[in-house]
């Protein structure tokens, strides 16, 4: 299966503002960069590098994507969903596409493989967060099958779109795909589970 992976990522200095109570600006920027580098590394291990598309306004992160063999897409739209829509226009329109969050420090290639496996019996596969209400990754059988609806309580919106179109919808929850970092509690939990690896 030819799979495109899209990773949208904000410039490090603009990311993770909800962590301001526990991390200063440089520490938050460093965390954003480390998490992105990890997610990108997993992506290029999961599919050929040329099938990975990084969309960002950060020249530094785009340069790193190029160095890894991935496609660097300058975010001209602004915003998470517009960036995904922009990047989706440049991938194979007849093959599956995976929108993958850049803040998943525990994600592994086996998590990507689990999503692809679930696509065998579904048209849309959503990887949910720890609370089971958000979407940290969304796999579509082809681009544009449903609209991206990332944000608070996005899982229900993605499910609702799929069901309204008569599409098969599957949800998976793995440790790596559910462990995003948005607030201090997330950071503390991941630090405790990271086998001593420094997250911030």
Residue 197 pLDDT > 70: no
What pLDDT does residue 142 have? 97
pLDDT digits (tens, 9 = 90+) for 169-195: 999 999 999 998 888 787 777 776 655
pLDDT tier for residue 54 given thresholds of 50, 70 and 90 = very high
Q: Per residue in 87-118, pLDDT tens?
A: 999 999 999 999 999 999 999 999 999 999 99
Sheet containing 124-128: which strands, arranged edge to edge?
71-74, 52-56, 4-9, 97-100, 135-140, 124-128, 169-172
Measure CA of the first residue to CA of the last residue in the chain; give whole Å.
36
pLDDT at residue number 17? 80
Residue 37, helix vs strand vs coil: helix
Query: Residue written as tokens 């948005």?
Result: 182
pLDDT digits (tens, 9 = 90+) for 113-156: 999 999 999 999 999 999 999 999 999 999 999 999 999 899 99
Q: Is 161 exposed, middle or buried (0-12, 13-18, 19+ CB in 10 A)?
A: middle
Mind listing the domains of the chain with CATH numbers? Answer: 4-192 (3.90.550.10)
């Amino acid at each position: 299966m030819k799979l495109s992976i899209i990773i949208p990522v904000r410039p490090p200095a603009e990311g993770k503002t909800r962590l301001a109570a526990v991390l200063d600006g440089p520490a938050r920027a460093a965390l954003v960069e480390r998490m992105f580098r990890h997610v990108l590394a997993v992506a290029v291990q999961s599919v050929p590098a040329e099938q990975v598309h990084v969309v960002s306004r950060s020249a530094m992160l785009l340069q790193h994507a190029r160095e890894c063999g991935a496609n660097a897409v300058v975010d001209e739209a602004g915003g998470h969903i517009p960036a995904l829509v922009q990047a989706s226009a440049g991938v194979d329109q007849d093959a599956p596409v995976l929108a993958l969050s850049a803040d998943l420090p525990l994600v592994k290639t086996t998590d990507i493989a689990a999503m692809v496996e679930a696509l065998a019996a579904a048209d849309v596969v959503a990887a949910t967060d720890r609370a089971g209400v958000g979407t940290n990754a969304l796999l579509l059988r082809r681009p544009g099958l449903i609209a991206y609806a990332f944000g608070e309580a996005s899982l229900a919106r993605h499910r609702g779109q799929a069901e309204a179109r008569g599409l098969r919808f599957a949800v998976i929850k793995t440790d790596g795909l559910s462990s995003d970092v948005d607030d201090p509690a997330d950071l503390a939990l991941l630090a405790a589970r990271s086998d001593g690896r420094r997250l911030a």
